[in-house]
Structure 1
Amino acid sequence: MDGEPKESGDIRRLSSVTLAEVAEAAGLGESTVSRVLRNEGSFSRKARARVMEAVERLGYVPNRIAGTLASAGSRLVAFVIPSLSNIVFPDLLRGASGVLEANQHQAVFAVTDYDPGREEALVAAMLAWRPTAVVLAGFEHNEGTRKMLRASGRRVVEVLDLDGEPVDIAVGFSNRAAGRESAAFLLKRGYRRIGYVGHDLERDTRAGKRHAGFCAALETAGFPLVDRQINAGPSSVESGRQGLEQLLARSPGLDAVYFSNDDMAIGGYFHCLARGISIPSQLAIFGYNGLDIGRVTPQPLSTIRTPRVVTGQVAAELVVSNAPPQMVDLGFELIEGATA
């Protein structure tokens, strides 16, 4: 107990070490110490060794927040993404982080839970840090969000969609085209009584665009969608399993079902296994995203594979190179699989 006040005092002391104190301990000017700690500009190997020895001895922690706010050209890149439970977005961040780190930029992120109002608040909070760029999913934002982005003077990269007008740069693929190609594949295989299982299409606007493209292609071919089951909330394996059960209870004569993504499709696959429904002879299943789990199921999932990691890489490359406004179409790949 006697040691607690001393420990607390030590913690306060460690947290209050300043750049000036490091400079004094190293016998160097503050500007030299700052260059060493940022690893920018000119300094000698001997100066670096003296600075790092002083940093270690004093327990100095650089105030990155103060340095970021003080500079309009910060090296932060803000990602405002809908979800972390959906593997799409961790893959996007994984692709971007390697490029950013190699170019001495730092990714920070916030999660909107597909809520446009929350996205607007988070964009405002991120812009207060004066990041180099803001990266967002899709084109559907509140008007307040769009106004902030346009007025910010920051680079803006909208990813994972090309069906819309970008604020600045867009990197991704057409979700409507992915929906159309999925429908064309099922029709080519001879399926005619087709249903749909999905999650909240108003919140997940990219899933909504795929659904619209899919339905339009079926209509054009003369075989409109027979039935659909839209479950509230985010996509999940459980939601996909429940959704297919509900859909087949109403429309037992379906011969194929298109799912909003692979999470949902894997849930549908599990439902078929549990109920003894033969895939694809009794019911075909088609997903979207090309997740790893879909490749290792007993019957590999028929799906669209999207370039999520590459999307992150390209977005980061355009940011660090200060590229001009543009739209980059990375396309997608149809995986025939064994479920359709």
Structure 2
Amino acid sequence: MTVSRVLRGRGDVSENTRDKVLAAAKQLGYVPNKIAGALASQRVNLVAVIIPSLSNMVFPEVMTGISAVLDETSLQPVVGVTNYLPEKEEKVLYEMLSWRPSGVIIAGVEHSDATRAMLKAAGIPIVEIMDVDGTPVDSMVGISHRRAGRMMAQAIAAEGYRRIGFMGTKMPMDHRARKRFEGFTEALAKEGIEVADQEFYDGGSALAKGREMTEAMLKRSPDLDFLYYSNDMIGAGGLLYLLEKGLNIPSEIGLAGFNGVELLQGLPRQLATMDACRSEIGRKAAQIIAQRCAEDGPDEPEAIELSPKISFGDTLKRG
């Protein structure tokens, strides 16, 4: 009865006892069922989709893929946003699981111990998306970001660029950007090249931020001959700055981003980038959930790795 009162938010329990009950529940990954007794199945036709951001153009495209598949089923996606914060991810997942969804689609394979405990204890299909460099709780769909970083580094080195600067988000929070950077530097090292300058920033991916960082980096290191950005939006800002300064692209200086954002196709030059398979990741994740929720559907986890592709655009030399 005491445990029930704590989990129902009743106030007639001492703080010491409440803390002990909540600590035990967190360790076990236990989430109270807010709809217990309301439905015989103990499930609703919702799919919890937990993503880091809606301002980053990557994730709306993932959502488009998810919705395209679930629209053909009785399942409905409901979205939670974590802002790349592990503690926010725990809170969002806890609240969503309390409504007993039919499945969970969650970005990334790195989570807190409490989040992993909740996912493992949920008893429903779980699909971790965007990344395959790690061990999933259940199923996963994504690309290898380390491989993506290596591929871009190899393409840059093959064209003779040697003085390379890197700009991207602060990586303790953005695991996928960190893995790309690790793959990138690893592949450059095999070519005898080190990153000559680097800069990291907080906040959303913005054109203004890309311009600002590019200007600052070239003042520090004017001999750079290539700039690699962790996403297309800051890369586009850098491209616009370089064009204003009249630099010869890609002969004098090359540059590349990541994600293949379609919005940037109207730029004066097409930015070299890499397709991260966003919409396809969303579709395949939703297909796994839908199939496993279907009567007599498969119950085995799946691990699907998609292959990113480089687009050389107008900012990376070819041959």
Global fold match (TM > 0.5): yes
Corresponding residue pairs, total: 276
The 2-side partners of 1:167 and 1:236 are apart by 33
Paired amino acid for 1:339 = T
> In structure 2, which of residues 274, 296, 301 is the aligned counterpart of residue 325 of structure 1?
301
Q: 1:68 touches 1:129 (CA, 8 Å); kept in 2?
A: no
The 1-side partners of 2:216 and 2:281 are apart by 35
The 1-side partners of 2:263 and 2:161 are apart by 25
Q: 2:35 touches 2:99 (CA, 8 Å); kept in 1?
A: no
Query: What is the aligned partner in structure 2 of residue 115 from structure 1?
Result: 85
The 1-side partners of 2:151 and 2:260 are apart by 14
After superposition, give the CA deviation of every residue in 1:227-281 in whole Å (9 maximum; x if it has no partner).
Answer: 1011122322222111111211111100001100111100111111222222112
Q: Does 1:222 align with 2:192?
A: yes
Query: What is the aligned partner in structure 2 of residue 103 from structure 1?
Result: 73
How big is the alpha-carbon RMSD for the aligned residues of Structure 1 and Structure 2?
A: 1.6
> In structure 2, which of residues 305, 312, 317 is the aligned counterpart of residue 336 of structure 1?
312
Q: Does 1:208 align with 2:178?
A: yes
User: SS state of the match for residue 102, structure 1?
Assistant: coil
> In structure 2, which of residues 215, 220, 227 is the aligned counterpart of residue 250 of structure 1?
220
Q: 1:200 touches 1:233 (CA, 8 Å); kept in 2?
A: no
Q: How far is 1:220 from its partner?
A: 1.3
Q: Does 1:186 align with 2:156?
A: yes
The 1-side partners of 2:46 and 2:62 are apart by 16
Q: 1:159 touches 1:311 (CA, 8 Å); kept in 2?
A: yes
Q: 1:69 touches 1:130 (CA, 8 Å); kept in 2?
A: no
Greater relative contact order: 1 or 2 (C-alpha under 8 angstroms, separation 6 or more)?
A: 2
Identity %: 40
The 2-side partners of 1:189 and 1:267 are apart by 23
Query: What is the aligned partner in structure 2 of residue 141 from structure 1?
Result: 111
Q: List structure 1 segments (4+ residues) > 4 angstroms apart after TM superposition.
A: 65-69
Equivalent residues in 2 for 1:50-89, closer than 5 Å: 70=39, 71-89=41-59
Q: 2:35 touches 2:100 (CA, 8 Å); kept in 1?
A: no
Q: How far is 1:310 from its partner?
A: 1.0
Query: What is the aligned partner in structure 2 of residue 41 from structure 1?
Result: none
Query: Per the alignment, do residues 326 and 280 of structure 1 end up closer, same or farther by CA in structure 2, a change over 3 Å counting?
Result: same
> In structure 2, which of residues 107, 115, 132 is the aligned counterpart of residue 162 of structure 1?
132
Paired amino acid for 1:125 = E
The 1-side partners of 2:116 and 2:232 are apart by 31
Paired amino acid for 2:139 = I
Query: What is the aligned partner in structure 2 of residue 273 from structure 1?
Result: 243
Query: What is the aligned partner in structure 2 of residue 198 from structure 1?
Result: 168
Q: How far is 1:67 from its partner?
A: 10
Deviates more, 1:115-124 or 1:289-298: 289-298
**TM-score normalised by structure 2 residue count:** 0.83
The 2-side partners of 1:281 and 1:69 are apart by 66
User: SS state of the match for residue 227, structure 2?
Assistant: strand
User: SS state of the match for residue 103, structure 1?
Assistant: coil
Q: How far is 1:72 from its partner?
A: 2.3
After superposition, give the CA deviation of every residue in 1:137-183 in whole Å (9 maximum; x if it has no partner).
Answer: 11111111000110111211110101000000000110000000000
Unmatched tracts of structure 2, length 5 or more: 1-33, 293-297
After superposition, give the CA deviation of every residue in 1:35-59 in whole Å (9 maximum; x if it has no partner).
Answer: xxxxxxxxxxxxxxxxxxxxxxxxx
The 1-side partners of 2:89 and 2:223 are apart by 41
Query: Per the alignment, do residues 317 and 82 of structure 1 end up closer, same or farther by CA in structure 2, a change over 3 Å counting?
Result: same
The structure number with the bigger radius of gyration is: 1
After superposition, give the CA deviation of every residue in 1:100-129 in whole Å (9 maximum; x if it has no partner).
Answer: 120111000011111111001100001001
**TM-score normalised by structure 1 residue count:** 0.78
Paired amino acid for 2:306 = L
After superposition, give the CA deviation of every residue in 1:278-335 in whole Å (9 maximum; x if it has no partner).
Answer: 2112211111111113333222111101211111111001101014212101211111
